[in-house]
Structure 1
Amino acid sequence: MSELQVRKVVAAYDGAPVLHGVSFTVPSGAFAAVLGPSGSGKSTLLRTIAGLHAPLEGAIVVGGRVLTGPRVAMPPERRRIGIVPQDAALFPHLDVRANVAFGLPRAQRGGARPDELLEMVGLADLAHRMPGELSGGQRHRVALARALAPEPDVILLDEPFSALDASLRAEVRAQIRQVLRRARTTAVLVTHDQDEALSMADIVAVLDQGRLVQVGPPEEIYQEPRSRWLAQFVGGAVVLPGAWRGDAVECALGDVPAHLGAGEVAREGDAVELAIRPEHLTLAPVGEGLGGVADASVDAGADAGTVALVRHVAYFGHDAVVTLDLPGLDEPIEARVLGVHHIRPDAEVRVSVTRPGIAFAAR
């Protein structure tokens, strides 16, 4: 196991800046996710760690070895870094075992290591299948076994699940996460998928336009985002304009308990923007607006809350997203409620907030 340090990395393509002083650390054996929208610099960062792109400034250090730094540019083949590419990139003319063995020095390919790895990834019985006979999830597990074969210090995963069907994606993510835990290898996943990052990683580093927005455990990224943008990007947030009232925000939902985001300063009456998670909104019936209430996320006896008009209901089985029009707001908001709710469009409901929100200075 080896710690990975990314130190103030600056990178560019054809003179156009891509990364702006990115720094974070992945402890030995930890799983990190680099999360960001398209064009945020995720792939450039991965290529820089792997030694496939030379940064203008900064350093990459693994296990105390400087791989990239002032007057240091270790070639990719000497970095002890394995890569699982997006498309798995298996050799079509080699069977599964030979693909895994290809990651080893030639003299070791006939040994027990490939069989041990196939056992680890749960594909021992497919050792002599050809890549074309495998499912997408199986191909990615073979690619992971091949990357693990030479016992690298770090594994890099380049959006490896993006081409999989949604029904298969969660299963393969769980399988690969389990394999990496068993191997105790430091790993970095590059992804634009929030669910992927939050569910798999010990540490999430969020990039936007080449800058590190926040790094920390998934719970911290979700529960204490350091910017309005991050609150909306990770998990989605209802953002309401309002005025700061000491320990609450006066807004279209009334006086909502809140705290200021990290580094934010506000005086009484200052204009702020309140971020609330959609699942922290509860709905209660007004008149005959609701029926068949199945759980506590709809409070059938509540008189409190702000009256809103139901515009649309998107039902997902395990929960539903209800689009609401609030008085005084030009844009609708969304509430996420659990269970089976017979909420009809054009009905009136009362909207209440169950947890404090986070306030940011108004833009």
Structure 2
Amino acid sequence: MSDIVLELNNLACGYAGHKVVQELSIHLRAGDIGCLLGPSGCGKTTTLRSIAGFEPVSAGEIRLDGQVLSSPTHNVPPEQRRIGMVFQDYALFPHLTVAQNIAFGINKHPERQRIVGELLELVKLGKLGQRYPHELSGGQQQRVALARALAPEPRLLLLDEPFSNLDGELRRRLSGEVRDILKARGTSAMLVTHDQSEAFAVCDQVGVLREGRLQQWDTPYNLYHEPATPFVASFIGQGYFIRGQLLTPDTVQTELGVIRGNRAYQLPTGSAVDVLLRPDDIVGQEGSSLTATITGKLFLGASTLYRLQLATGSVLEAIFPSHDDHSLGEVLGIRVSADHLVIFSAQGSVNVSAQLPLEQVLASGVSV
């Protein structure tokens, strides 16, 4: 059997004659948890419903374990796809007990009771099998929905915004538990969410969608540190772009000084570029000639996020340990400490202050 469990090849799909998703190609390895991430209306749920068999495919194909499930001329019915689904609203049967809900899809299985018992323990509801859904909390209901979807041992599990009805702390805890459960069973899954922290906490691979087109399919680490497009760079995490000029393949002149990157960039020398700086790229340095004024402050517990304004008017963000406390209006000495320098070609003229002649910059060897 192939290591690839799910393949979407040049997929186009939509509803009511409206094409929502176009030219979407991704693959998911067996045992991995994938995610479709993006703003509302970008095609995440439409893609998930097409994988489940609820929406038609107008171009391309969907394969599970190498078998074509959907194409413009072929469609395997949803009940024959070996795919489970966990819905946003749980969709539990109110007149059935927890155990009966879990057993719903395996009522004819000779080992039904054993499977239900194992799943109740797996989702930490071992003593609640005889309760009804209305007697459970939202997190417990979600666990029941997950156990019910896992009972038939699907080849792929689909999760459509499964934690959106839960409050913040419960959402964070349950998303981690769901990942542990899926990994313990070796179940391949595809999650849909607009919450990037949730996607990063649960998933091995994440696809960022914009207006129905895939921007990047990659690991959470690479999406944050190696975004493929300006949209991914701005959508994932926090940060600001500043304008610069490429001096050498790995060196950029900016209003923060000369910044040296960690690779050679494939742009002509002298190109106008936009440089992405994350909050963790900006660090404090007492006595630095480069200063910024604190114009915003967000206390996060273990850390504090500061909004900084440079003398030029440009805005940055920096995250400091919470015990390193500063006040609004305070002027800080800062420097750039970026292990991964993300650069994109910019349109328009270069707009950097205190720009040095190219020969002088190269001779000085100065870096920030």
> TM-score w.r.t. structure 1 length?
0.90
> Is the aligned partner of 1:347 residue 2:349?
no
Cα distance change of structure 1 residues 175 and 305 upon mapping to structure 2, 3 Å threshold: farther
**Alpha-carbon offset, residue 17 of structure 1:** 2.4
Q: Partner of 1:334 in structure 2? A: 317
Asked if the contact 2:239–2:316 (Cα under 8 Å) also holds between the matched residues in 1, the reply is no
Q: Tell me the SS of whatever aligns to 1:111.
A: helix
Q: Tell me the SS of whatever aligns to 1:90.
A: coil
> Is the aligned partner of 1:257 residue 2:260?
yes
Deviations, residues 92-142 of structure 1 (Å, cap 9, x unaligned): 111100110112144558532111111111111110111111111111111
**1:163-242 equivalent positions in 2, closer than 5 A:** 163-242=165-244
Distance in 2 between residues matched to 1:305 and 1:187, nearest whole Å: 51
Q: Partner of 1:317 in structure 2? A: 301
**Alpha-carbon offset, residue 236 of structure 1:** 1.6
Q: Tell me the SS of whatever aligns to 1:282.
A: strand
Distance in 1 between residues matched to 2:76 and 2:289, nearest whole Å: 61
Distance in 2 between residues matched to 1:270 and 1:260, nearest whole Å: 16
Q: Partner of 2:78 in structure 1? A: 76
Q: What amino acid is aligned across from residue 334 of structure 1 in structure 2?
A: E
**Alpha-carbon offset, residue 341 of structure 1:** 2.2
Q: What amino acid is aligned across from residue 269 of structure 2 in structure 1?
A: E
Q: What amino acid is aligned across from residue 211 of structure 1 in structure 2?
A: R
Asked if the contact 1:2–1:27 (Cα under 8 Å) also holds between the matched residues in 2, the reply is yes
The CA RMSD measured in Å over matched residues stands at 1.8
> Is the aligned partner of 1:308 residue 2:296?
no
Asked if the contact 2:299–2:322 (Cα under 8 Å) also holds between the matched residues in 1, the reply is no
Distance in 2 between residues matched to 1:24 and 1:223, nearest whole Å: 20
Cα distance change of structure 1 residues 306 and 101 upon mapping to structure 2, 3 Å threshold: same
> Is the aligned partner of 1:100 residue 2:102?
yes
Q: Tell me the SS of whatever aligns to 1:99.
A: helix
Q: Tell me the SS of whatever aligns to 2:127.
A: helix
> TM-score w.r.t. structure 2 length?
0.89
Distance in 2 between residues matched to 1:231 and 1:222, nearest whole Å: 7
**Alpha-carbon offset, residue 265 of structure 1:** 3.4
Q: What amino acid is aligned across from residue 270 of structure 1 in structure 2?
A: S
Asked if the contact 2:57–2:72 (Cα under 8 Å) also holds between the matched residues in 1, the reply is no
Q: Tell me the SS of whatever aligns to 1:190.
A: strand
Q: What amino acid is aligned across from residue 154 of structure 2 in structure 1?
A: P
Distance in 2 between residues matched to 1:12 and 1:37, nearest whole Å: 17
Q: Tell me the SS of whatever aligns to 2:175.
A: helix
Asked if the contact 1:6–1:24 (Cα under 8 Å) also holds between the matched residues in 2, the reply is yes
Relative to structure 2, which stretch is displaced further, 75-84 or 267-276? 267-276
Q: Partner of 1:269 in structure 2? A: 270
**Alpha-carbon offset, residue 272 of structure 1:** 0.5
Q: Tell me the SS of whatever aligns to 2:180.
A: helix
Distance in 2 between residues matched to 1:266 and 1:348, nearest whole Å: 35
Asked if the contact 2:11–2:25 (Cα under 8 Å) also holds between the matched residues in 1, the reply is yes
Q: Tell me the SS of whatever aligns to 2:147.
A: helix
Asked if the contact 2:240–2:315 (Cα under 8 Å) also holds between the matched residues in 1, the reply is no
Q: Tell me the SS of whatever aligns to 1:124.
A: coil
Q: Partner of 1:47 in structure 2? A: 49
Asked if the contact 1:253–1:351 (Cα under 8 Å) also holds between the matched residues in 2, the reply is no
**Alpha-carbon offset, residue 88 of structure 1:** 1.0
| Matched residue count | 343
> Is the aligned partner of 1:6 residue 2:1?
no
Distance in 2 between residues matched to 1:15 and 1:239, nearest whole Å: 39
Asked if the contact 2:63–2:69 (Cα under 8 Å) also holds between the matched residues in 1, the reply is yes
Distance in 1 between residues matched to 2:323 and 2:36, nearest whole Å: 35
**Matching residue within 129, 132, 136 for 2:134:** 132
Identity of aligned residues (%): 38
Distance in 2 between residues matched to 1:142 and 1:281, nearest whole Å: 45
Deviations, residues 34-82 of structure 1 (Å, cap 9, x unaligned): 1111111000000000000001011111112211125210110110100
Q: Tell me the SS of whatever aligns to 1:151.
A: coil
Asked if the contact 2:294–2:306 (Cα under 8 Å) also holds between the matched residues in 1, the reply is yes
Asked if the contact 2:4–2:27 (Cα under 8 Å) also holds between the matched residues in 1, the reply is no
**Alpha-carbon offset, residue 337 of structure 1:** 1.5
Relative to structure 2, which stretch is displaced further, 104-113 or 139-148? 104-113
Asked if the contact 1:259–1:359 (Cα under 8 Å) also holds between the matched residues in 2, the reply is no
Distance in 1 between residues matched to 2:62 and 2:234, nearest whole Å: 31
Q: What amino acid is aligned across from residue 254 of structure 2 in structure 1?
A: C
Distance in 2 between residues matched to 1:231 and 1:50, nearest whole Å: 30
Q: Partner of 2:366 in structure 1? A: none
Cα distance change of structure 1 residues 81 and 161 upon mapping to structure 2, 3 Å threshold: same
Asked if the contact 2:12–2:60 (Cα under 8 Å) also holds between the matched residues in 1, the reply is yes
Q: What amino acid is aligned across from residue 335 of structure 1 in structure 2?
A: A
Distance in 2 between residues matched to 1:228 and 1:21, nearest whole Å: 20
Unaligned 5+ segments in structure 2 are 348-368
Distance in 1 between residues matched to 2:53 and 2:227, nearest whole Å: 31
